[in-house]
């Protein structure tokens, strides 16, 4: 776990224009000084991410919002007050402090206050904003432990702050708060139901982001093994069939079938609690990759609460790959 001296060292690394991987309550981020265009450019390079794909600016508290965004609507302030620190990202009009490199050239900026003590200590020691995407190679599974970060990025990151495993396990919910009627651009750690309860009105979910990146493939959050979605009651039979055909099958066994005998290379028992499922999701995908699976069979949970974000990530992980 990160000590005070690690926090100071990480803040110094950011000030020097270098990169720090740090824990948040959702996933680990790959951070750079948000106001340093060259450092931000290196984030894209290390991740292998197209420069038009914008980053999230992490800040220490909601009072700093006016430094980073302009014309912040009252609804955005309400959401910030209720959910920060926490797994909510607000898309707002870009403040002048934010370089265009961080927003992929957009006039809007994504901002959040993360709900992790180590991230907040780092933000406080550093003093500025930290631009950070998830600390994985572009398109692959987000890291939820410091070991995942090291496995993804190795020596290309200058310092890794270890804050233990992430509590939430899926990324933040992104809300477009630029207009009077906010909408969800990416479901995540704050549920649509919780947002609606505060806003007092239904909230549309645009599960494919409005930010269209030319040439971007739908596959994202993807393990090396091919991921195929099947109906829960067919998982056991489909696994057996594929295994007989010579595939190395990994199975996400739905809670309703817990304890069933499955002929497969590796089996992960999906937790019945959505919070536990979200926390474990990316670790399960990595585990099945590590155990040598070439095919993963999973089914979608009910799309309520955190189930909406889990289903979104599974669909994206099952999306067509560049080579296909």
132 lies in the binding site for ligand TXA (CB under 6 A): yes
90 lies in the binding site for ligand TXA (CB under 6 A): no
Cβ 133 to Mg ion, closest distance in Å?
A: 5
Using DSSP, state whether 252 is helix, strand or coil. strand
185 lies in the binding site for ligand TXA (CB under 6 A): yes
Phi and psi at residue 48, in whole multiples of 5°? Answer: 70, 35
- How many CB atoms sit inside 10 A of residue 196's CB? 13
CB environment 258-286: b (16+ within 10 A), e (fewer): eeeebebbbbbbbbeebeebbbbbbbbbb
144 lies in the binding site for ligand TXA (CB under 6 A): no
Is position 26 annotated in a ligand binding site? yes
- Cβ closest to Mg ion, residue 134 vs residue 312: 134
- Cβ closest to Mg ion, residue 222 vs residue 267: 222
Give the H/E segment covering residue 248.
none
Using DSSP, state whether 173 is helix, strand or coil. strand
29 lies in the binding site for ligand TXA (CB under 6 A): yes
As a whole number of angstroms, the distance between CA 322 and CA 324 comes to 6
Give the H/E segment covering residue 309.
helix 307-317
| Segment contacting ligand TXA by CB under 6 A, of 72-80, 168-176, 283-291, 313-321 | 168-176
Give the H/E segment covering residue 77.
helix 74-83
| Partner whose footprint covers residue 163, from Mg ion, ligand TXA, none (CB < 5 to 8 Å by kind) | none
109 lies in the binding site for ligand TXA (CB under 6 A): yes
Among residues 110, 153, 177, 268, which is the contact residue for ligand TXA, using CB under 6 A?
110
As a whole number of angstroms, the distance between CA 163 and CA 25 comes to 9
65 lies in the binding site for ligand TXA (CB under 6 A): no
Footprint on this chain of ligand TXA (rule: CB under 6 A): 24, 26-27, 29, 53-56, 87, 89, 91, 103, 106, 108-110, 114, 132-134, 171-172, 174, 185, 209, 211
Which residues are known binding-site members? 26, 49, 58, 108, 112, 132, 134, 142, 172, 186, 221
């Amino acid at each position: 776990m990160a000590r005070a001296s690690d926090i100071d060292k990480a803040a110094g690394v950011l000030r020097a224009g270098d990169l720090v991987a740090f824990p948040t309550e959702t996933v680990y981020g790959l951070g750079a000084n948000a106001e340093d265009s060259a450092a931000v450019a290196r984030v894209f390079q290390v991740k292998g991410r197209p420069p038009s794909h914008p980053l999230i600016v992490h800040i220490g508290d909601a009072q700093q919002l006016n430094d980073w965004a302009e014309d912040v609507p009252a609804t955005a302030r309400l959401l910030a007050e209720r959910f920060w620190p926490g797994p909510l990202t607000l898309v707002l009009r870009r403040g002048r402090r934010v370089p265009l490199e961080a927003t992929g050239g957009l006039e809007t900026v994504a901002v959040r206050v993360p709900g992790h003590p180590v991230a907040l200590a780092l933000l406080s020691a550093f003093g500025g904003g930290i631009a950070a995407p998830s600390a994985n190679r572009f398109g692959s599974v987000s890291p939820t432990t410091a070991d995942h970060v090291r496995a993804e990025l190795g020596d290309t990151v200058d310092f890794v702050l270890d804050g233990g495993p992430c509590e939430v396990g899926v990324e933040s919910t992104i809300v477009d708060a630029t207009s009077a009627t906010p909408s969800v651009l990416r479901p995540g750690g704050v549920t649509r139901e919780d947002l609606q309860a505060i806003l007092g009105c239904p909230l549309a979910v645009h599960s494919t982001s409005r930010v269209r990146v030319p040439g971007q493939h739908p596959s994202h959050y993807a393990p090396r093994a091919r991921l195929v979605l099947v109906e829960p009651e067919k998982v056991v039979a489909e696994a057996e069939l594929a295994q007989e055909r010579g595939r190395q099958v990994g199975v996400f066994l739905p809670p309703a079938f817990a304890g069933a005998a499955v002929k497969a290379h590796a089996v992960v028992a999906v937790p019945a609690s959505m919070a536990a499922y979200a926390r474990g999701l990316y670790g399960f995908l990595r585990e099945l990759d590590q155990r040598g699976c070439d095919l993963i069979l999973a089914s979608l949970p009910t799309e309520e609460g955190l189930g909406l974000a889990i289903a979104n990530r599974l669909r994206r992980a099952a999306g067509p790959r560049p080579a296909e």
